[in-house]
Amino acid sequence: MHEKCGVVGMSLTDRSAANPLYYALYALQHRGQESAGIVTHDGFQQYDHVEMGLVGDAFTEQALEELHGTVGIGHVRYPTSGSVDACCAQPFSVSFKSGSLGLSHNGNLINADAVRDELAAQGHAFTSDGDTEVIAHDLARNLLDGGLIQAVRQTMGRIHGSYALTIIHDDAVVGVRDPDGNRPLCLGKLEDGYVLTSESAAIDTLDGELIRDVRPGELIRLDPDGTGYTSYQLDDRTHSAHCFFEHVYFARPDSVIDDNLVYEVRRELGRQLWEESGIESDVVMPVPDSGRAFAGGYAEVADGVEFAEGLMKNRYVGRTFIMPTQDARERAVRLKLNPIKSTVEGKTVTLIDDSIVRGTTSTQLVEVLREAGAEAVHMRIGAPPIVAPCYMGIDMASRSELIAADRSVEEICEEIGADSLAYLSIDAVARALDTAREDLCLGCVTGEYPYDIPGETADRDVKRPDVGEEPVSPAD
Ligand code: SF4
């Protein structure tokens, strides 16, 4: 699975925002490694620096010095919509009749094509195929007729999908969370200002304090002088649709999202896993690093099962998903994880991971543990089976690649070669998150989505806004 993007916005009293924005992006690096960028404003003009690559490579000291102003926004990107090249790197910035505008976006629009076609018919020229530029153009058009808050409200009425945005319009910085709260966004207080960011770990990095999550459908405007903020509830819905995978996989364990510390949720998922499908074995071990907190929770409540690290990770091997062929992917798994023989030999092992996507890694790991002398390998997964793709900004795989899309748990168990396999139930996930099922997005584990997606079933009464164009095909 690919992580999504990370966004940040900041307003400080009298310090340059460039360096703190850079540190915040460092803290969000796990959410996107393709490009990084910062846009600032000094009250007179906008400055931007956007580069391909990791945060540490994208900025030099001089580049940061040239980003003047006490307000700004930043972005790290993993491409979920649009091409993999510099034209889609963010923040997206544009100067127009009503000033300058910069936009950072995490998420994915379902109806971007329809809005783009409508704007193009009105003469808007697009430089990328990404959905962020669609939002920027729509906002720019609305800003010709009114203020920023009203412009965002109008754009929110036209776009359909998931988004957490930080926007800079001249020296005003706002953060917006989509009406379903699908993507995370939170507000923090710094010693000399305020910050909006995808994850609270970025606030910790800046020695700040988390104030709260931005509510679904809420816009928060930071005062340009860094002394406060104002909240505007632009859309209010009965139910939200938080992405549960943020807690299971994407977010940093030290982040608090929607009032839940990610690390603690993962431990609780591990405890629930033992309650639902615990099995006697000599050792319980995590798939590093993703399964560690789950395995810790599992071992905490498991009777007589010893916790052990039985697989060592080689941190210098690229992620398996960037390997172009199946053969290369399989080789990469073996390069990446090596068993500690003495922990495994002659033992029954319960291996804990957070998810199974294609099944390639699980198959290899079971094989590796057997070769190291494990007598039995039981797999326990801290989430329900992934049966359908994500259209909201997570690049997991297409339906045909998902091992659970058309197989039962028994068939998957056989395919990966484990002695037993069990996943966590959806109810257990909702319990661990202390959130009602109706307030979660469960699209990838139920095949029913909280959005109106052509060709898919919705899990609630929801309809795409009519922007006067033919229905669009979602990107898979
Ligand atoms: S479909 Fe799955 S990964 Fe995508 S937003 Fe919903 S819960 Fe998250």
The three-state secondary structure class of 259 is coil
CA angle, 26 then 44 then 97, to 5°: 100
What mean pLDDT value characterizes the chain?
A: 91
Place of tokens 């099944």: 359
The three-state secondary structure class of 370 is helix
Mutate to test the pocket of ligand 1, among 3, 182, 402, 441 (most ligand atoms within 8 A of CB): 441
Tokens of 197: 């960011």
Q: HEC profile for 324-338?
A: CCHHHHHHHHHHHEE
Q: What is the mean pLDDT of residues 441-448?
A: 97
For ligand 1, atom 4, which residue shows the shortest CA distance?
390
2 pLDDT band, cuts 50/70/90, is low
Is the predicted pLDDT of residue 476 greater than 50, yes or no?
no
Task: Supply the pLDDT for residue 183.
Answer: 95
The H-assigned helical ranges of 259-372 are 262-277, 292-301, 326-336, 341-344, 360-371
CATH superfamily of this structure's domain 6-241 = Aminohydrolase, N-terminal nucleophile (Ntn) domain (3.60.20.10)
Task: Supply the pLDDT for residue 171.
Answer: 94
Exposure of 299 by Cβ count < 10 A (0-12 exposed, 13-18 middle, 19+ buried)?
buried
Task: Supply the pLDDT for residue 322.
Answer: 45
Nearest CA to 253 out of 264, 243, 242 is that of 264
CA 376 vs. chain centroid, Å, equals 35
CB atoms within 10 A of CB 68: 17
Contact in structure between 266 and 466 (CB atoms under 8 Å): no
Is the predicted pLDDT of residue 465 greater than 80, yes or no?
yes
Ranges for all domains in the chain classified under CATH 3.40.50.2020? 263-430
Task: Supply the pLDDT for residue 468.
Answer: 65
d(CA 305, CA 323): 36
- Of 81-85, 260-264, 343-347, 453-457, the least confident: 81-85
For the four alpha carbons of 324, 325, 329 and 335, in that order, the dihedral sign comes to negative
For residue 7, how far is its CA from the centre of ligand 1 (angstroms)?
A: 18
Looking at per-residue confidence, does 306 or 330 come out higher? 306
Ranges for all domains in the chain classified under CATH 3.60.20.10? 6-241
Phi/psi of residue 413, nearest 5 degrees: -55, -45
Is the predicted pLDDT of residue 182 greater than 60, yes or no?
yes
Contacts of 190 (CB under 8 A, 6+ apart): 10, 12, 20, 203, 206, 207, 208
Q: What is the mean pLDDT of residues 301-319?
A: 82
Flag whether 441 is marked binding: yes
Nearest CA to 247 out of 218, 279, 213, 274 is that of 213
- Of 246-250, 334-338, 361-365, 417-421, the least confident: 334-338
Helices vs. strands in the chain: H and E counts, helices first: 16, 26
CA angle, 356 then 361 then 366, to 5°: 100
d(CA 6, CA 166): 10
- pLDDT tens for residues 171-181? 999 999 999 99
Contacts of 365 (CB under 8 A, 6+ apart): 287, 311, 333, 337, 351
Is the predicted pLDDT of residue 83 greater than 70, yes or no?
no
Flag whether 290 is marked binding: yes
Is 186 known to be catalytic? no
Contact in structure between 88 and 134 (CB atoms under 8 Å): no
Tokens of 207: 């020695």
Q: What is the mean pLDDT of residues 124-139?
A: 89
Flag whether 413 is marked binding: no
Q: Which residues line ligand 1 (CB under 6 A)?
A: 182, 243-245, 390, 392, 394, 441-444
Mutate to test the pocket of ligand 1, among 178, 394, 448, 453 (most ligand atoms within 8 A of CB): 394
Amino acid at 177: R
Instruction: Print burial letters for 250-269: b (CB count within 10 Å at least 16), e (below 16).
Output: bbbbebbbbebbbbebbbbb
| HSE toward the beta carbon, residue 341, CA cutoff 13 A | 3
233 pLDDT band, cuts 50/70/90, is very high
CA angle, 92 then 97 then 103, to 5°: 20
Amino acid at 73: I
**Which of 5, 88, 186, 413 does the annotation list as catalytic?**
5
For residue 449, how far is its CA from the centre of ligand 1 (angstroms)?
A: 9
CA 383 vs. chain centroid, Å, equals 16
Hey, what CATH class is 263-430 in? Answer: alpha beta
